[in-house]
Amino acid sequence: MSNAKKSSAEVQPCPNCATELPVPKSTRSFICRSCDAIIKVIGTDDGIALKVVGKSVEDDPTYQAYEAQAAELVAELDELHKRYLVEMAKKPGAGNFRRGIFGVVILFGGLIVMIWSLAVGATLAGFGLLVAVASFSAHSRRKAAFEAHTGEISRTMEKIGQRRDLIQRKAARMKVEI
């Protein structure tokens, strides 16, 4: 009877650089210490086979620069999103619109009063028309200004998001280049 232990690792050449690598039986993937290739272990009928699926880029200065840029853009997006939510909370209310409706009601009331008194009815109708036009105009201006401002924030967020996505794709591509 032999007391020798069975080896828990098989030795295989790296498919990228041919360095002999010990491959533990329970390993599914690992990084070659010689070439930084990411190796996937594939079980076959004859044992195992190794396949290069990418490279480790964690220490690569270009990769680190991409990651830093992406982190800055994410922080900028978070700040813009908070600002956008604050601006959305300032959405113009319906006060001017309600005053405009009130002006229309006064206008119609004045037209009805004109049946009995032309001067009083015309004065009421004129006042109602003035209130309606001024209120609807103010409401429209405030709403347009609000939409322009929040739209600009939204477009800026979209541009920053696209830049972030591009940088993250470049960083991801570096991981799978061999």
Span 56-103, pLDDT tens digits: 777 778 888 999 999 999 999 999 999 999 888 888 777 888 888 988
Q: What does the pLDDT average to over 116-139?
A: 90
CB 57 within 8 A of CB 174: yes
pLDDT of 1 over the 50 cut: no
* Domain ranges (residues) in the chain: 9-55, 61-176
Q: What is the pLDDT of residue 76?
A: 95
Backbone angles phi, psi at 52, to 5 degrees: -80, 125
Can you tell me the mean pLDDT for 118-126?
Answer: 90
User: Both tokens of residue 129?
Assistant: 């028309």
135 and 99 in contact (C-beta within 8 Å)?
A: yes
Tell whether the model's pLDDT for residue 55 goes beyond 70: yes
Structure confidence at residue 77 (pLDDT)? 94
Higher pLDDT, 112 or 173: 112
The residues near 63 (Cβ < 8 Å, ≥ 6 apart) are 57, 171, 174, 175
Contacts of 136 (CB under 8 A, 6+ apart): 96, 97, 100
* pLDDT tops 50 at residue 9: yes
In terms of Cβ atoms closer than 10 Å to its own Cβ (0-12, 13-18, 19+), residue 84 is middle
Please state, rounded to an integer, the average pLDDT across all residues of the chain. 85
Is the pLDDT at 176 greater than 70? The verdict is no
Instruction: Give mean pLDDT, residues 2-22.
Output: 74
Instruction: Express as a percent the part of the chain with pLDDT over 70.
Output: 94
Domain 9-55 classified CATH 2.20.28? yes
